[in-house]
Every structure is written in C-alpha cells, then in structure tokens.
Structure 1
Amino acid sequence: MHNIKRIAEVAGVSTSTVSRVLNHHPYVSEVTRTRVMEVIQELDYIPNINAVQLKVGRTKVIGIMTPTINNYYMQIIKGVSNAGKEQDYQVLIYQTEENRDLESAALELLRQKKVDGIVILRRMLDWSAVRHYTKYGPIVTCEPLKNKEISSIYLDHYEGFRIGLEHLVELGFEKIACTIGRKNSVNSQRRLQAYYDLLAARKLPVNEEWLLSGIHTVQDGMRAFAKLESLKERPHAIMTTNDLVACGIISAARSKGWNVPGDLAVVGFEADESQVADAMGLTNITNPLQQIGQEMFRTLHRQLNGQPLEPAPLSFELKVRQSTMLIPPTN
C-alpha cells in the first residue's frame, strides 16, 4: 500500500502539501491540488481510516438505536443521515427489536469509541442505564425526557392529535373514533389523552368500541374499518395513527360503497414521505420527522464541538384535503 510519503515523491511536493490536499485545506494552489489528486488516483491510494480516527479523535460515525426499521423511523434516520453528510458523518443503524441486551450492545459502541454519539429512537432500558454511557459521548433521543445529560428533540403527540380532533369537532362531527399503534408507548398514551380530554371538554360521546389499538399498516387500517362497519353504533369520523392506516380505512370504506367524507371523515397523521395524502385526498397532520432527525444530529454535533445548543422550532401542521371537506351526517 502506498502512503503519503510516496504520493509526495511522485507528485514532487512535500508530505505536508499532500496532507493539506487530503484534508481539503484552502491554502493549496489548484495546479498543485490537481497534480496531487492525479497521483492519488494513479496509485489508488486509500487513507488509513483507523490512523485518521486516531489522529483526530473522532470516528465521524453516529450510531442510531432503533427498535425496527419502518416508514416512521426511516424518516428520522434520513434526517440524521442528511444532516450528518453536511459534516462528513456517516450513520450506523443498530436495530434492537426492543431487546435490552441489544440496546446495551448498541450503547457499548459509544464506550468502545466506535461511534462519536448515539441517537435513540426508542428504548426499553431504563434511562438510568442509558445515562451511564453519556460519559463516553453525547446521547440524544426523540422521546420526551427532561435530563441534563441526555438531550431530547421531541414533539408532543398530544398536540398533534388535538389539532386533528379539533378540526373534526369544528366541522360538526360528534361520533369520532381513533386508532393508535403500540398501546403502551408514550406517544400512544399522549394521543389517547388528547382524545379523552377533547371529547370530555366538548361533552361528546366516548365509545370504547371506537378506540382501536395495534393499528400500524394499510392492512391494519382495512381491518379497523371492517370492525367499525360491523358495529351497531358507527362513528362518523376517525382520527388515525398515520397516513398508511388512513389510506387502508379509506380504501376499505370505498370498496364497501361508503362515501368519504360523507359517510366517514378521515384524518391521517403523516409518518412517511410517500405523498399518499395528496394521492388519496387525505386531510392529515404533518409530523416533521426528517426535521426532527436533522436537529438530533445537529444537537450531537454541537455537543461534540462544545457549542451551545440552539433548539429549532418544530411544530405539527394541519393540511385539509377532501377526506374531511363535506358536511357531516346528522343522523
């Protein structure tokens, strides 16, 4: 393998000049830079990554701990990755399947200096166990957390669900169903709380048969509609977990001859970038997942460089489309 000294000899420059070229130093003439890069290509030189990391004290890798890889988490991961590329960082995705041993193994990457920081999308370990690893590098999560040692970039799903439910209530809908994903997750609990709080405040009926959990996919949405259709007392509107669920509900409803929103108004909760909301005419709450991911990386990067944190404004937004545009039924 060729080294910097050999490149310098062939290019007719000093080793420090080769180093400046490799490190994108601005004070190198274009002629010299071009010559050095030509020699690097001719010799097929590949930098010793371990030596570079040892020199700078960084791996230029961020670890991402995720329970699974789905539409929701991939958007956050994409945000982390895109922001990381701007700083020449790569991401290492560690899928844990909600296994505590695998989560501990992911955190060990930080202690072993194989990553510079860890992004936690969801975890089963107690925060006390996670906090132990902050002495090896920064950790940031998108779960709600008030902790001086672990940063949290988080949007309260209570507010997102409240916006969607308020929209339905303001249109005059009174019989409102809702779907959630994992019943015991923090986000699901906050969504349910928003549902109960809003209906209680507006003195609207709550029917436990209208609350459907474990609903994540298009197929789940279709099954959810089938259950609601079978009820003696049917809801006239539904607030859903994500856009894919909403699309499954709309598809199943239309296949049964239901009019959306005449017979059933539907609101989605954006969890992907597939633009299904536009295609299906779906009113939805936009959830800035990629922006959350970007801010998670930027928070880690600031901490690595000893810079003050600068929280960015993040918010949900209601986008009204055809799935809620008609006057609700009165019967």
Structure 2
Amino acid sequence: MDRDTRPSKLTLAAVAAEVGVSAPTVSKVVNGRQDVAEATRARVMAALQRTGYKSPLQRKSAPVHRAVEVVFDSLNSAYGVEILNGLMEQAAVSDMEVILSITGRQAASPLGPEARAQRLVDEGRAGMIVVTSAFGSAQLEAFNRRQIPIVVVDPLNPPPADVFSVGASNWAGGKAAASHLLELGHRRIAYIGGPSAAECSQARLHGYMAALMAAGITVDDEYVSAGPFKPENGVRGMKALLALENPPTAIFAASDSIALGILAEARRQNVRIPEDMSLVGFDGTPQAEESVPPLTSVSQPLQDMGRSALSFILRQMRGEDIDSRRVELATHLVVRESTAPPRKS
C-alpha cells in the first residue's frame, strides 16, 4: 500500500481496492454486519489491521492520553538515567505522562510490528521515544502508517530520513578527546570503542582518527578495538593493550562506562592513571566526576537530549512544520585528573 493511503487519507474505498472487494462489503465488515463470507471478512479485517483504519465511531471513542512511551535497551548506565531525567523534567512541565519500556538489545516485541503499533494507537499514546536501541524498518513503517510520532535518541543504526532523531556532535567530541591527548604530548593513543556498527561509535572513532592524521600520526590497528558500551569492554581492551610490545601512553574510551572498566583493570595491573597512562572518556556522566581519579570526559548534554526528544513529540502532536528532523547538540571536553603529559622514559 503506498503512502497516499496512510490513516489521515484512508477511505473504505482504498481498503476495498487493496483487498479486491467493493466498498459496501468493507463497510459491512466495519459495521459488524453478518452477511459477508468468512473468508472475505478475514481478508478485510487483516487489511484494516495492517493499515490501522478505524471507523469514525472508533476514532471518537479511542482513549486520548497525554502519554509517551519511552523505550530503552537497558537502564543500567548513568547515560540512560541522565537522558531519562531530562525527559521526565520536560514531561512534568508539559503535563505528559511517561510510560517506560525496557526491551534488551533490540527494540522488539512478541506482538510483532503491526500489533505493537496498533497497541499504541488503542492505548492512546502520544508517541514513542526510542533510546539507543536498534529499531527495524518494519516497525517504523507500521508506526508511519498510523501516524504515530516517533523519535530516536542516539540510534545504534542510522534511522530513515523521515524519522526524527536526537544526538550529539560525536565526531567533534572524538576529535576533541584525541586533540587534548596530542596537546599533552601523547603520540601512542588507543581507542576502545563501542559497537562497531553503532553510528555514534563510528563518528567518535572517525573524529579520533582525524585528529591523529592531522598531527601526522598513522592510526595503529592494534590500538583500535570495539565492543559494548560496558565496563567489561574496557577491562578486555585494557588487557589487550597492556599485552602489546609497545603499549599506548593514552586511551580514548568511547563511553564513561568503558573508561570505568579501564580504570578497574589499571588498578589490578598496578598501572597508575594518569602517571603511567592517560585516559579520556565520553558522555560526561556523574560517574566520570566521581571516579578515582576524576575522569577527563567529553560531555554530552544528556538531559537536553531527553528534553529535545520529548519536544519533538509535542511538536508533532501539534502538527507543526518542522524544518529539520535531526537535532545534534554540542559536546565539550571537561578536563579532570585522568590526563597528564606522558611519562618521560
């Protein structure tokens, strides 16, 4: 079914044309008439569910709640909590209710894309905000057909051009982190990144590489690794780097969580931060400020990202014309005690 038949323009005739029956037949099914063959009724009902069509009576009686569903793959990091804090603050001043959903690595549902989208319509959700999770094209299309506002925050995979998204200037942040270490005098700088397919991790890596290449330094493949945005990735990456014949003198970690794992492994191996090795994180979470030593980190405006995501939903609800479907907020480097000039050999 093409985009001209989305719910705002959907007619019984359009549904009839898709199924291959007459408009009066579709009308009978919608109004619960019994004089329709069961096989035909089933085909019509499937088309109505697939398109999200509702009769005028159904639309008048549908619940209208000022509630938005927020989907996280997990909430076990300061990153997610900070985004949620900003979102909740914006919801409070906007008289919106927040429904929280924790899904795991994939924003999937046992209901399937169509049924899940229809559930949001039936429950009167104002829209959905998806934070860091991968969201499939089938689910996005199901939302689109029903005109459900959706916003993705720091998506792991690039969203379609017509989907609203909120993020930070990851490339600039990666470049700032590496440039800071270069200015201190480091030349052997490693990067322990997030998932290799994650758009934000790729951008941070490319910023790091741009800074090194501008300084005339070749990026050493042994100094670059990828993994989840979790402390265990930092532990694993630190072990591998320390096992090299020529370990780096500094590490740029793609998240504060990864950096915390690096700090833990450094303590286990009696590597002093920053005396023996400098470390920069990314996110600017409270954990960075509270770590020992306090972590130099590229700060993302996480709470502002949450507020911006909900603002996108509200503007779509009001039917506003929105020039750009992408908001990219500035990052900035916060220098603390985990970075210093390299130790003189």
TM-score range, shorter chain: 0.7 to 0.9
Corresponding position of 1:264? 277
Corresponding position of 1:79? 86
2:169, 2:328 → 1: CA distance?
13
Other structure's SS at 2:314 match: helix
Structure 1: runs of 5 or more not aligned: 1-52
Other structure's SS at 1:268 match: strand
1:101, 1:56 → 2: CA distance?
23
1:166-202: CA deviations, max 9, x gaps?
1111211110011112121111222222233332232
Other structure's SS at 1:153 match: strand
Whether the 8 Å CA contact 2:168–2:328 is kept in 1: the answer is: no
> Does 2:341 correspond to 1:327?
yes
Structure 2 letter corresponding to 1:172: G
1:106-148: CA deviations, max 9, x gaps?
4333333431111122454444651442343311122355734
Q: 1:192 to 1:265 in 2, by over 3 A?
A: same
Corresponding position of 2:199? 186
> Does 2:248 correspond to 1:238?
no
2:210, 2:186 → 1: CA distance?
16
Structure 2 letter corresponding to 1:327: P
Corresponding position of 1:88? 95
Structure 2: runs of 5 or more not aligned: 1-58
Q: How does 1:201-280 map to 2 (within 5 A)?
A: 201-270=214-283, 272-274=285-287, 276-277=289-290, 279-280=292-293
Other structure's SS at 2:338 match: helix
Corresponding position of 1:133? 143
Q: Compute the TM-score of the two structures, normalised by the length of structure 1.
A: 0.73
**Partner residue of 1:58 out of 56, 64, 71:** 64
1:137, 1:216 → 2: CA distance?
30
Whether the 8 Å CA contact 1:178–1:211 is kept in 2: the answer is: yes
Q: 1:124 to 1:286 in 2, by over 3 A?
A: closer
Q: 1:218 to 1:166 in 2, by over 3 A?
A: same
1:322, 1:273 → 2: CA distance?
15
Report sequence identity in percent: 25
Corresponding position of 2:332? 317
Whether the 8 Å CA contact 1:146–1:152 is kept in 2: the answer is: no
Q: 1:295 to 1:56 in 2, by over 3 A?
A: farther
> Does 2:76 correspond to 1:70?
yes
CA deviation after TM superposition for structure 1 residue 56, in Å? 10
Quote the RMSD (CA, aligned, Å): 2.9
Q: 1:107 to 1:203 in 2, by over 3 A?
A: farther
1:4-36: CA deviations, max 9, x gaps?
xxxxxxxxxxxxxxxxxxxxxxxxxxxxxxxxx
CA deviation after TM superposition for structure 1 residue 313, in Å? 7.5
Q: 1:249 to 1:68 in 2, by over 3 A?
A: same
How many pairs align? 277
CA deviation after TM superposition for structure 1 residue 283, in Å? 0.7
2:82, 2:117 → 1: CA distance?
22
Q: 1:108 to 1:179 in 2, by over 3 A?
A: farther
CA deviation after TM superposition for structure 1 residue 240, in Å? 0.4
CA deviation after TM superposition for structure 1 residue 231, in Å? 1.2
Whether the 8 Å CA contact 2:194–2:254 is kept in 1: the answer is: yes
Structure 1 letter corresponding to 2:246: E
1:277-296: CA deviations, max 9, x gaps?
56532111111111101111
Q: How does 1:112-151 map to 2 (within 5 A)?
A: 112-127=122-137, 129-134=139-144, 135-142=146-153, 143=155, 145=159, 147-148=161-162, 150-151=163-164
2:265, 2:306 → 1: CA distance?
33
Other structure's SS at 2:124 match: coil
Whether the 8 Å CA contact 1:240–1:266 is kept in 2: the answer is: yes
Corresponding position of 1:16? none
